[in-house]
Structure 1
Amino acid sequence: MQTQIKPIKKTTVVEQAIESLYDLVRSQNLKPGDRLPTERDLSEALNISRSSLREAIRVMDMMGIVEVEHGHGIRLSGLNLSQSISKPLNFLIATDSNMLLELYEFRKLIEVESVKTAALKITDVEIKELKKLYSELKNYQHDRNLGIELEIKIHETIAKAGNKIMSEVIMAIHDVMKVSRESTVAAVGVSDHTIKMHGKIIEALENRDPDSAAKYMLSHVESVYSRITEE
């Protein structure tokens, strides 16, 4: 019997440097705004060349983990998770149009779970904010740009009420989908069904009813999905 041997995964010096920098941040309990050691000290501590260190820092800068301030060193940034997710998603959709439909399918899964979580955690202050946004959405239903922005704000407010990680993912999804959403509301603005479902969702959230909130969110997302697939 022949044994299957898995090859050893090779990592580059740059990848190892990034992992070591992650370890440094964790071990030193660094916070956003804190500065990392100088380039010279880091290269000596990691026992790598400055060119490899600079490449590792460049990658982390692109990911939004650090900021390089010329003349002032390297600063740990407040990681914007939604932007870190949306950038590669935008690239995937640009190279494969089918990915947009798959993203809508994923959105359906995560937004339904998000609204159920929000129904159990949402505060009266957040309900008040949702009602304010909903009132504005109705007023600007036929305004293409404001309609989109207000609808997105409602979804983000709901997501933030439930789970921070979910909210970052949902914000990234809405950022990627904004262009396609603009095309669906270009002619008539936000649909009557969308207006109705958002009202039902907010009502269910106010009643702390996760099942009803999930039902109306599912109806809303499926309606948007059907309009996209019909185009």
Structure 2
Amino acid sequence: MFGAGGVVPVTDEAIEKIKAMIVRGELAPGARLPREADLAERLGLSRNSLREAVRALSLIRVLDVRQGDGTYVTSLAPDLLLDAIRFVVDFHQGDAVLQFLEVRRVLEPAATELAATRMTDEEIAGLRRILAELGDSPSVEALVANDLRFHSHIAAGSGNQVLCSLIDGLAGPTTRARIWRGLTQEGALRRTREQHEAICAAIEARQPGLARAWATVHIAGVEEWLRNTLGEPESEPGS
């Protein structure tokens, strides 16, 4: 980020210098930062700019400021660093939700394909239990809550923490779309249950291609319905 005349703001400079220390391994996950005065001198920064940088990095979960103890580098785990996505996506409504559904259509089938090869038998049994928890006539809210758990369990079963965090982060706005669809589109609840069953069966059979295909059909159905509802042109398959 640059200010007027191309000069890097001092806070941004401070952030970059702390980031560089972490990237170079001078500050490892869980490490405590040097005293403010020492670190400011070492980096050639004012204490005020360093303080602002620490505050900014703590907001995005890179640093953890512990009152009376000091400032530490967090674990830097993907789910921690990508947590901000959940905050950002919750602001988006209407047409913007379509963009999140497009991203979901790219990510979730990939996660489902990985899950078909990586989930343990115990994890697949857990997926079956999630499906079995729904009664014969669930409410829309109950089905959507179950849907969220179902897809989150599959994402975790992909064995890719980054992918799992990204998918979980997209849950907010797409959840509202799923509920809206369940309340207004005839047969939506039945189709959701049937598609969940097909996805689970493909994972259980260790058929990654089929699992990916069913996940794509499942997610594309919500996207197509929302496009039609909002009067948007349909996207090309595979776009």
TM-score (norm 2): 0.81
Match of 2:87 in 1: 87
Match of 1:205 in 2: 203
Alpha-carbon distance in 2 for matches of 1:29, 1:48: 18
1:156-175 map, 5 Å: 156-162=152-158, 163-175=160-172
Give the match's secondary structure for 2:71: strand
Counterpart residue identity of residue 156, structure 1: S
Deviations 1:68-121 (A, max 9, x none): 222222132344134222223334x25xx4221121111111111111122121
Query: 1:118 touches 1:205 (CA, 8 Å); kept in 2?
Result: yes
1:128 aligns with 2:96: no
Alpha-carbon distance in 1 for matches of 2:40, 2:104: 42
Seen in structure 2, the aligned counterparts of structure 1 residues 175 and 90 have a Cα distance that, compared at 3 Å, is: closer
Query: 1:144 touches 1:190 (CA, 8 Å); kept in 2?
Result: no
Tell which deviates more after alignment, 209-218 or 23-32: 23-32
Alpha-carbon distance in 2 for matches of 1:221, 1:228: 11
Q: Which runs of 4+ in 1 moved over 6 A?
A: 187-190
1:37 aligns with 2:53: no
Match of 1:49 in 2: 46
Give the match's secondary structure for 1:139: coil
Identity of aligned residues (%): 26
Alpha-carbon distance in 2 for matches of 1:38, 1:205: 52
Seen in structure 2, the aligned counterparts of structure 1 residues 39 and 186 have a Cα distance that, compared at 3 Å, is: farther
Match of 2:9 in 1: 12
Please provide the CA RMSD for this pair: 2.5
Counterpart residue identity of residue 209, structure 2: D
Select 1:194's aligned residue among 192, 195, 199: 192
Alpha-carbon distance in 2 for matches of 1:10, 1:178: 42
Alpha-carbon distance in 2 for matches of 1:85, 1:99: 14
For structure 1, the 5+ residue unaligned runs are: 1-7
Q: CA deviation at 1:24?
A: 2.5
Alpha-carbon distance in 1 for matches of 2:10, 2:137: 54
Give the match's secondary structure for 1:75: strand
1:228 aligns with 2:220: no
Alpha-carbon distance in 2 for matches of 1:29, 1:124: 39
Query: 1:36 touches 1:76 (CA, 8 Å); kept in 2?
Result: yes
Counterpart residue identity of residue 155, structure 2: A
Give the match's secondary structure for 2:45: coil
TM-score (norm 1): 0.83
Give the match's secondary structure for 1:191: helix
Alpha-carbon distance in 1 for matches of 2:90, 2:227: 19
Q: CA deviation at 1:141?
A: 5.6
Alpha-carbon distance in 2 for matches of 1:171, 1:90: 12
1:139-178 map, 5 Å: 139=135, 142-162=138-158, 163-178=160-175
Alpha-carbon distance in 2 for matches of 1:190, 1:64: 38
Give the match's secondary structure for 2:64: strand
Seen in structure 2, the aligned counterparts of structure 1 residues 134 and 19 have a Cα distance that, compared at 3 Å, is: same
Give the match's secondary structure for 1:142: coil
